[in-house]
Amino acid sequence: MLSDGLAGMDNIVVRPRDDLADLLVADTDRVVIVVRLLTAASDNQLGDDARERLGQRGDYQLRASLFLTGEVAVDFIVAETPQDGDAELNRPLLLKVLDKALVVLHEENLRKGRAFQTGNDIGFDLTGFRLTGLGPVAEQKDNFRMLRATYHYAGRFWPVELLAEGNVIQTLPTRIAVLPVQIPQNIQANAGSEDVTIPLHVDLRSLNGAPVRLVARMKGASPPGQLVGDTTNVPPGGYVAYIPNAEGVFELVYRPPASLSNDTQVRISLGLAHTERATISLGELSIRVAS
């Protein structure tokens, strides 16, 4: 912000750290601006009402954050050996830069903290940035080449987080099955006969566009007969899928084998499933198949 506000003044270099040796060198006629953090302390006076006092201004409202206050120093340093050989003659340049910088740092959005927001997660949200002092540095009162402006700040701070990758979940499709499922008993079929339709009354509820489907498979290594249903987008392992009819009833279709040497019991597993997730069991029904 200082760099933007002081653009056009060739005698200024803004630095956020203390490596000045490469800037304050001989035959240099410039003012170096160094920004330093002096203090930071938690605010123990506002208490738990701080969040309400600050209002809904930023994403920090959704995070664990720490309210801090403290001081920042903005040092203005003129080169020790300017081109004309006399540092005192550059004092007007120091004051000229200082005067311009104070105007830049007094801009309303900056004083209220809003100017620091970039639209990205910068780890803090200031609510105030105000000038509190101007003069020589306390430890260097005789150094006429350096002046310091001190600013008081207040705001909330938090660790910067990496942006989450992938699509944002707007809705979460959900299916809810009320147990126990009403499973018919004493179902019978004959080998070589027509398909057997088995009605299932399942209280299956769908939210946010989740598909209302029931999956079923025959249990055992080589069960006789087969289930007739939808085989698209079903889990592996012989599953077929069914959707409810207009009355909300699921109709399972079992096709008996053409022939059978002995009577047998066919067990069918029922569940909710996704092609990429484990099947959720809803129960089991059995069919007695006569030879």
**What is the Cα–Cα distance from 54 to 126, expressed in whole angstroms?**
10
Read off the pLDDT of residues 234-270 as tens digits, 9 standing for 90 and up.
Answer: 888 889 999 988 888 899 999 999 998 899 999 999 9
Residue after which a domain boundary falls, among 105, 126, 157: 157
Are 183 and 273 members of one domain? yes
Are 279 and 194 members of one domain? yes
Are 56 and 119 members of one domain? yes
Are 153 and 53 members of one domain? yes
**What is the Cα–Cα distance from 284 to 217, expressed in whole angstroms?**
10
User: Which CATH number does the domain housing residue 68 bear?
Assistant: 3.30.2000
User: Is residue 168 one of the residues assigned to a domain?
Assistant: no
**What is the Cα–Cα distance from 206 to 59, expressed in whole angstroms?**
33
User: Is residue 164 one of the residues assigned to a domain?
Assistant: no
pLDDT at 49: 46
Q: Specify burial of residue 77 (Cβ count, 10 A radius: 0-12, 13-18, 19+).
A: buried
The range of the structural domain enclosing residue 282 comes to: 174-290
Are 17 and 125 members of one domain? yes
Read off the pLDDT of residues 102-122 as tens digits, 9 standing for 90 and up.
Answer: 888 888 888 888 888 777 778
Give me the count of residues in the chain. 291
Are 28 and 150 members of one domain? yes
Name residue 250's beta-bridge partners.
200
Domain count, the chain: 2
Are 46 and 129 members of one domain? yes
- Distance from chain centroid for Cα 172: 16
The two three-digit tokens of residue 109, written as one number: 């959005």
Are 109 and 142 members of one domain? yes
Are 22 and 145 members of one domain? yes
User: Which CATH number does the domain housing residue 270 bear?
Assistant: 2.60.40
End-to-end CA distance of the chain: give it in Å, rounded: 88
User: Is residue 163 one of the residues assigned to a domain?
Assistant: no
Are 93 and 230 members of one domain? no
Strands (E), the chain: 12-15, 31-42, 66-78, 124-135, 146-157, 174-182, 187-190, 196-207, 214-218, 226-228, 240-242, 250-255, 264-274, 277-290
The two three-digit tokens of residue 33, written as one number: 């601006």
Half-sphere exposure in the Cβ direction for 95 (13 Å, CA): 6
Q: What is the pLDDT along the chain (291 residues), one digit of tens a residue?
A: 666 666 666 666 555 555 555 555 544 567 888 888 999 988 665 544 444 444 445 554 566 778 889 999 998 888 765 555 555 666 787 888 888 888 888 888 888 888 887 777 788 888 889 999 998 888 877 777 788 999 999 988 888 777 667 777 778 878 888 888 888 889 999 999 999 999 998 888 878 877 788 899 999 888 899 999 999 888 888 899 999 888 888 999 999 999 988 999 999 999 887 656 667 888 899 999 998
**What is the Cα–Cα distance from 74 to 38, expressed in whole angstroms?**
10
Are 230 and 258 members of one domain? yes
Residue after which a domain boundary falls, among 122, 157, 192: 157
pLDDT at 125: 83
pLDDT at 52: 41
The two three-digit tokens of residue 284, written as one number: 């089991």
Alpha-carbon Rg of the chain, whole angstroms?
38
Are 103 and 187 members of one domain? no
